[in-house]
Each structure stands twice: as C-alpha cells, then as structure tokens.
C-alpha cells in the first residue's frame, strides 16, 4: 500500500519541471540558489551505485567550468534533503556555495538506509566498502580531478578514519571534527564507538537514536526509481518524519534500560542489538569504525573540543597515528585543533564565547581559512604556507582564555605532578575535610565512605556531553550546590599563590571497596575560585567489574580493597592565583551515564537496584591519587 502511495505521489507531481541546468528541485527565485546558479551547477539525487548494487543518494554542487576540479566529500546519516514550506536547505547550499567559490565541487551523500539512499542503515557504518566505492565513482567523473578531501562533524566524521585505513588513492586529505576514536584499544583507552565509557553506557545514544531513527513503517522509494522521480518526490517529501517530542530528563530514567526506546515509542531495531552488547563483544569490530589493528593512509586535520563527549580518546587517536602509522609522511602530516566549545560548535565561538555558564573570552579561530588551506595543499597541487604557519597542535587554555600552540600533546612543558587524597574520614560534600596534597597520607589515615542509591543518583550538571535533549546541558557550570550532597566526596588543594596551568592528560588511581558485587566510581575535575565558584573541566567513570580489563568481568568481595585505574581526563586550564584544584568522587553521574544498579547482573535488563556502601581508601598502603600535568 505504501509503495502504491508513493507511485501515486509520483503521478500527481509529474508536472513539476526539473531545471535543465543540472537536475535539481530548488526554487530558482531563492536568493541563495540564484547566487549559486550564477557560478555553479546543482545535480541532486544522483544515485551512486555500490559494489552490491545498493544506490546511495548524492547531491553534487560543482563550478561552471570545463576543467576538472577537486572534491570535498561529506557522507552523513543526517538529513540534507529537507523541504519545508518551499524553503531551501540553507545550511547545505551555503557550504556548497563556499566550496564552489573556492574552486571545489561539494558532494554530500546519505549513508545507506538513510533518507533517499537504498539499503539498511547501521549505526556502525556497515559496510566499510561504501566509502571506498564512493571515492572510485567520484574519481571517474569527468568533472573530477581525482583528488578527494573528506569533511564532517560527529556522525559525519565517524566513518572517515576506517576508510582512511583503506588508503584509496584518491582520498588525499581529511578533516574529521567531533569524531569518535573508533573501537578497540586506542592508547590507554578502550573504545566502543562512544557507546561506553569505563564500562558504563553513555546515555547520549539512547536519546540520539530516538531522534534519528525513522519509523519502522515509513514509506520507501520504489526500487529503481529514476533521478527525475526522486527529484519530484523530494520537492514535497523529505522522508524525515518528526518523532513526537519526548522529555528526555524523564525518558532516560526508565528501567530496564533495554526497554528505553520502546518506552519512548521509538524505532528500536538497532538499539535492541546495541544495548545488550557488552564492551568486549566481537560485534564491535564488524562495523565500519576504525580500530587500532588498521593502518592509516591519509593526511588529517583533526578538530576536538574540551566539552565534547570523548575528547581524551580523540586526542589519543591523534597521538596514536603520529606514533604508529607505517608511512612516515602520514605520521608527519597530522594536525590538531582543540577548542573550548561543546560538540561540533567550533564555528559558534564568538568574541565572548560562553560554554555553559563560563566565559571563555574570545575563542574565535579562523577555522574555515585553515581548513581550506589544508585542502588547497593536498587537493590542488598548489603548495602553500599551511605547514609553515600552522602549529602542530592549537589548543585553547581556559581560565587564561588564550589560544596556545605545541608540537606535541601534552605540551613538553607539562610536568606530571602527584596529589594525594587526604581526609579525617569526612570528605563528604564541600563542607567536609577532604584535601589534595603533595604529601603522602599517614599509615592509619581513615577511609571515606558514602552511600550510593541508584534511585537517588547524583544528577549530571554540565559536563562533556552531547545529544541528550533536555536531560543534560553541556559545558561548565558552578558545581557548588551539587557538592552539598553527602554521596559526593570532595578533595580540594590549597589555593595557588601563583597561577598554574594544567595542560595534558590527568591520571587517577583510587583504592576502593564496597559491600556490593559491582558498582561505579566517578571522577570530576574542578577549578575552584576564591569565591567558591567551582567550574567542571572534565569527568569520567569506571565500572568496577571491568577493573582488570574489558575482556572479563571480575566482581567485588565485601571488605576487600581494589585498585581502580580510572580512564584519563584531558583538559587545558589556567588556575589563577587564589584558585584551587578539586576532584569530586562519587558513584553516579546520571543521566550522562547509565546507573549501575549494583546487583552484579547484566544491568541492561534489570529494574531493581541494591544500595551500595562505597569507600575510598587513602593511606600509606593505599595511595589514592591524582597525577596532574602542570606548567608553572
């Protein structure tokens, strides 16, 4: 019936004419379209064939010239087809207009199974060969000079790394932004496409999948539909039904978490497969994401940000490639920018950039100019001054609100400095006696204890997060009120007499015990001002059952003390004179991370929880500590 409905739609709109100057359905009286058509040609809904016969919907914007041109290629699961009330998709055509003005063709394509592309979609980008096949098709077009640069942020970046490992001869350069580090071991991190952190689910995907997955019974384009047919359909129908609005602050609290999408009445086929997949499941390696057993063959200009969801793994991937790519030229052509912004918000930086509640001052950077110089270098056979004038690592230091530069990350000037946890057994809340000190604790220093009740979890407030709807606001927020809770242990250094910069990876070792078989431990890094304002910098979590590795689950025994090596934090922050460094330790950061129900069960299929009495030990035998990369 749905097929017949679409065929009827084709018949009803058959009188709509496709423009003869290229094939598109844009209204030519739109100012942006008029400006573009003066210099370029639009070719929409080109169905690019893959090796298995599946066709991917592709829009091509190219200059009016008989000379072959380089290509900027973006492949995405997101919608660039939207037609609402006769309005143009201004975001897509603005990007295309800039590219064409600079002498490039701009090609944007939907992943298989998304919108007008055929096939079935998978969050992990199956199959990997789609990217390779797209490069080959583009290379063979008469308007192509055979050199392709890839560009995109978030899920539009995720696929680039694994395709770069295939080393297609036309894939000349790439600019991944707000990317994930792939799957498997990346330096000290163990990644599952950002699904987990420290063995705890990141609930951002639960919200994200609700927003991007389409209804099971959505209309589907008839097989073999022509480009003209697709253009006519797209003029009236963008294949992007809007799901009903959901209060994610309530929806993400549903238990068991395996039924969360069902409870939202969302499409759950992909989710149902993912939510039961544990961190070490071999299925993670079957998708289209990068993992460290792959080589890497493409010069890359990376963009990360301090308040993104996986900044530590992102930077580590950059380091991994500089150290391990087999081709020395590839090693030497990796560059990195780290901004202070939220996920994919680089170009939203202004002369007074505010991230959460904290002003970063002027965080602007000439992002577009640098990106196009990078592409010019690799795609136009025109050497320029990019490498001479672009630092290897450009990173923003919060607090001083300055852009800084380094040849390596962490900067060579950073010295790892150890601070130990101290208290008299009452570090609970900011009113407690928890301290950070360079001195080691005494032999009989008492432990700190708190009660973790999953039904009264510590709420997420700000942080390094994206895509959770109204459930979590990302960025830096004053944590003082949250720190009044007794289930948060607070440890604070003495104020610095002189300012000190922290730039690099932060290492944390905790000695813990619990009366539960399994529980989580969270760490949050804070900049505390003399007036008490406490801005969060980075945060992480570790599920205790994975303390010996993600290839096995080892449960806790009551009263036994275990060492937890917490996944590294990463930031660059200037602590002004009078400021202090603080860490918060608890067992939840919800709904940033799924709650551990403390039972020792699978967690994803459980609704009932166990209250855990958790302890952090800090004495001469159990040196709980945080190691900070400080520049004095």
Encode pLDDT of 159-213 as tens digits: 999 999 999 999 999 999 999 889 999 989 999 999 999 999 999 999 999 998 8
pLDDT band at 220 (very low <50, low <70, confident <90, very high): confident
**What angle (nearest 5°) sits at the alpha carbon of residue 282, between those of residues 280 and 285?**
105
Rg of the chain over CA atoms, in angstroms? 26
- Tens digit of each residue's pLDDT (9 = 90 or more) over 533-576: 999 999 999 999 999 999 999 999 998 999 999 999 999 999 99
* CA end-to-end span of the chain: 71
Paired tokens of 275 = 């939510």
DSSP state of 442: P
Which residues lie below 8 Å from residue 166, measured CB to CB, with a gap of 6+? 128, 131, 132, 297
**What angle (nearest 5°) sits at the alpha carbon of residue 325, between those of residues 140 and 168?**
10
Cβ(151)–Cβ(74) under 8 Å?
yes
Which residues lie below 8 Å from residue 593, measured CB to CB, with a gap of 6+? 197, 200, 201, 202, 203, 460, 520, 522, 541
Q: What is the pLDDT of residue 13?
A: 38
Q: Is 501 left (phi over 0), alpha (psi -120 to 50) or beta?
A: beta
DSSP state of 64: S
For residues 7-23, average pLDDT: 45
How far apart CA 196 and CA 205 sit, in angstroms, is 10
- Tens digit of each residue's pLDDT (9 = 90 or more) over 582-611: 999 999 999 999 999 999 999 999 999 999
Paired tokens of 571 = 């930031």
58, 211, 219, 376 from 102: Cα distances, Å: 21, 34, 38, 9
Q: What is the pLDDT of residue 3?
A: 44
Cβ(292)–Cβ(321) under 8 Å?
no
Alpha-carbon torsion (224, 229, 230, 234), positive or negative: negative
pLDDT band at 5 (very low <50, low <70, confident <90, very high): very low
pLDDT band at 8 (very low <50, low <70, confident <90, very high): very low
- Tens digit of each residue's pLDDT (9 = 90 or more) over 416-430: 999 999 999 999 999
How far apart CA 547 and CA 508 sit, in angstroms, is 13
Alpha-carbon torsion (6, 125, 180, 601), positive or negative: positive
How far apart CA 239 and CA 362 sit, in angstroms, is 40
Q: What percent of the chain has pLDDT over 70?
A: 95
Alpha-carbon torsion (502, 504, 510, 514), positive or negative: positive
- Tens digit of each residue's pLDDT (9 = 90 or more) over 71-116: 999 999 999 886 655 567 788 889 999 999 999 999 999 999 999 9
Paired tokens of 342 = 């939220």
**Exposed, middle or buried: residue 278 (CB in 10 Å: 0-12, 13-18, 19+)?**
middle
CATH class held by domain 415-631 = mainly beta
Query: Which residue reads 């330096």 in tokens?
Result: 187
Of 458, 457, 474, nearest to 466 by C-alpha is 474
**What angle (nearest 5°) sits at the alpha carbon of residue 118, between those of residues 112 and 121?**
35
Cβ(598)–Cβ(519) under 8 Å?
yes
- Tens digit of each residue's pLDDT (9 = 90 or more) over 329-356: 999 999 999 999 999 998 888 999 999 9
pTM, entire model: 0.94
How far apart CA 188 and CA 62 sit, in angstroms, is 43
Q: What is the pLDDT of residue 237?
A: 80
């Amino acid at each position: 019936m749905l097929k017949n409905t679409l065929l009827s739609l084709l018949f009803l709109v058959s009188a709509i004419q496709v423009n003869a100057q290229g094939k598109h359905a844009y209204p030519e009286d739109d100012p942006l379209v008029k400006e573009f058509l003066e210099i370029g040609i639009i070719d929409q809904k080109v169905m690019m064939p893959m090796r298995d016969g599946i066709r991917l919907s592709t829009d091509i914007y190219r200059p009016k010239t008989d000379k072959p041109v380089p290509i900027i290629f973006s492949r995405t699961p997101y919608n660039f087809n939207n037609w609402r009330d006769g309005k143009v998709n201004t975001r897509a055509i603005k990007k295309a207009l800039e590219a064409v003005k600079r002498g490039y063709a701009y090609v944007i394509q939907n992943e298989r199974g998304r919108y007008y592309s055929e096939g079935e979609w998978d969050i992990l980008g199956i199959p990997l060969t789609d990217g390779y096949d797209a490069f080959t098709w583009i290379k063979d077009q008469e308007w192509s000079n055979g050199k392709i640069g890839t560009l995109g942020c978030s899920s539009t970046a995720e696929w680039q790394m694994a395709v770069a490992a295939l080393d297609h001869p036309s894939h000349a350069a790439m600019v991944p932004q707000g990317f994930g580090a792939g799957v498997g071991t990346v330096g000290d991190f163990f990644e599952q496409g950002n699904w987990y952190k420290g063995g705890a689910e990141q609930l951002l995907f639960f919200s994200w999948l609700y927003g991007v997955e389409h209804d099971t019974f959505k209309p589907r384009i008839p097989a073999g539909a022509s480009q003209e047919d697709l253009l006519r359909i797209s003029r009236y129908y963008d294949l992007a039904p809007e799901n009903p609005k959901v209060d994610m602050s309530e929806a993400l609290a549903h238990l068991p978490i395996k039924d969360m999408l069902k409870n939202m009445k969302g499409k759950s086929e992909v989710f149902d497969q993912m939510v039961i997949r544990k961190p070490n499941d071999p299925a993670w390696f079957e998708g289209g994401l990068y993992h460290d057993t792959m080589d890497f063959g493409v010069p890359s200009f990376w963009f990360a940000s301090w308040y993104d969801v996986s900044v530590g793994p992102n930077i580590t991937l950059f380091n991994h490639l500089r150290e391990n790519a087999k081709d020395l030229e590839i090693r030497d052509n990796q560059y990195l920018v780290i901004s202070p912004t939220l996920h994919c918000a680089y170009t939203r930086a202004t002369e007074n950039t505010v991230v959460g509640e904290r002003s970063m001052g002027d965080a602007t950077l000439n992002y577009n100019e640098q990106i196009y110089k990078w592409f010019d270098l690799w795609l136009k056979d025109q050497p320029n001054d990019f490498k001479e004038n672009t630092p290897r690592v450009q990173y923003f230091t919060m607090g001083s609100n300055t852009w800084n530069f380094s040849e390596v990350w962490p900067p060579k000037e950073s010295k790892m400095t150890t601070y130990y946890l101290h208290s008299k057994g009452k570090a609970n809340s900011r009113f407690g006696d928890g301290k950070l000190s360079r001195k080691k604790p005494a032999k009989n220093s008492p432990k700190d204890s708190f009660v973790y009740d999953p039904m009264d979890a510590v709420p997420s407030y700000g942080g390094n997060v994206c895509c959770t709807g109204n459930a979590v606001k990302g960025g830096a927020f004053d944590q003082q009120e949250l720190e009044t809770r007794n289930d948060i242990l607070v440890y604070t250094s003495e104020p610095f007499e002189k300012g000190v910069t922290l730039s690099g990876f932060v290492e944390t070792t905790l000695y813990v015990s619990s009366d539960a078989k399994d529980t989580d431990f969270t760490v949050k890094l804070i900049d505390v001002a003399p007036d008490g304002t406490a801005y969060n910098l980075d945060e992480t979590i570790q599920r205790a059952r994975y303390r010996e590795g993600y290839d096995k689950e080892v449960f806790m025994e009551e009263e036994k003390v275990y060492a937890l090596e917490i996944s590294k934090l990463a930031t660059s922050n200037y602590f002004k004179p009078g400021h202090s460094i603080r860490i918060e330790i608890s067992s939840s950061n919800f709904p940033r991370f799924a709650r551990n129900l403390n039972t020792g069960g699978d967690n994803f299929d459980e609704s009932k929880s166990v209250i855990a009495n958790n302890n952090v030990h800090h004495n001469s035998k159990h040196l709980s500590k945080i190691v900070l990369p400080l520049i004095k």
